[in-house]
Amino acid sequence: MTSLFLSGFANWGIFRYVAIFVGMSIEGDATLFTSGFLAERAYVNFPIAMAVAFLGTVCGDMLWFYMGKKMKNRDGFIMRRVERLSKPLDNQLKNYPFSTLIISKYSIGIHRAVIFRFASIGNSFKDFLAKNCLASFLWIIGVGSLGYLSGASFDLIKKYLQFSEISLLIGLIVFIGISSWIGYQNKTKGQ
């Protein structure tokens, strides 16, 4: 193992799966993709990681549903933000709730707001749970598999990554240099 993080992660035992559960409850996309990648690299067991990811997703989504039920009559920053993001989807949530839930899972930035809104417009928890579990399952299969497949292709592109790291470093140095030069030029013109 060449990574300090990965060698430490490999020794976490069951806490690897706890980290996946918590990560999926808070932020799903990156955690799910990374879990699939790590499963291909044999740092976690793929079926167990995806099952834990499913449970974490469902628990996190239930929390957002509960918050939507509790806060539906309140006025504040959170409600204004949720309404701005998801109110245009009210018609779809009422007429096509499953389709809207699954599409929102693939749409970065609106999924939590859609669940929040799903609850605040009066949908039942039982209806939400049934539709969300199926949507979550399909989403986990899709994104988790993409992570797994990217781990499989990692060996093919690994040698090119070192060149991109060097290019990024050179680009950062050039950017800092140009920014400093522009700042210096502006300062001397102002005097």
DSSP line for 72-125: TT--SHHHHHHHHHHGGGHHHHHH-HHHHHHHHHHSTTTHHHHHHHHHHTT--H
Confidence of residue 191 (pLDDT cuts 50, 70, 90): low
145 is in which domain, residue-wise? 4-157
What tens digit of pLDDT does each residue of 12-27 get?
Answer: 778 889 988 998 988 8
What is the tally of structural domains in the chain? 1
Confidence of residue 1 (pLDDT cuts 50, 70, 90): very low
Residue 26 falls inside a structural domain = yes
Residue 184 falls inside a structural domain = no
Residue 163 falls inside a structural domain = no
pLDDT, residue 5, reads 65
Confidence of residue 116 (pLDDT cuts 50, 70, 90): confident
pLDDT at 110 over 60: yes
Average pLDDT, the chain: 84
Q: Give the span between the Cα atoms of 25 and 54, in whole angstroms.
A: 9
Q: Identify the burial level of 107 via C-beta atoms within 10 angstroms of its C-beta, where 0-12 means exposed, 13-18 middle and 19 or more buried.
A: middle
Number of C-beta neighbours around residue 6 at 10 A? 13
Residue 189 falls inside a structural domain = no
Residue 186 falls inside a structural domain = no
Contact 50, 148 (CB under 8 A): no
Q: Give the span between the Cα atoms of 57 and 63, in whole angstroms.
A: 10
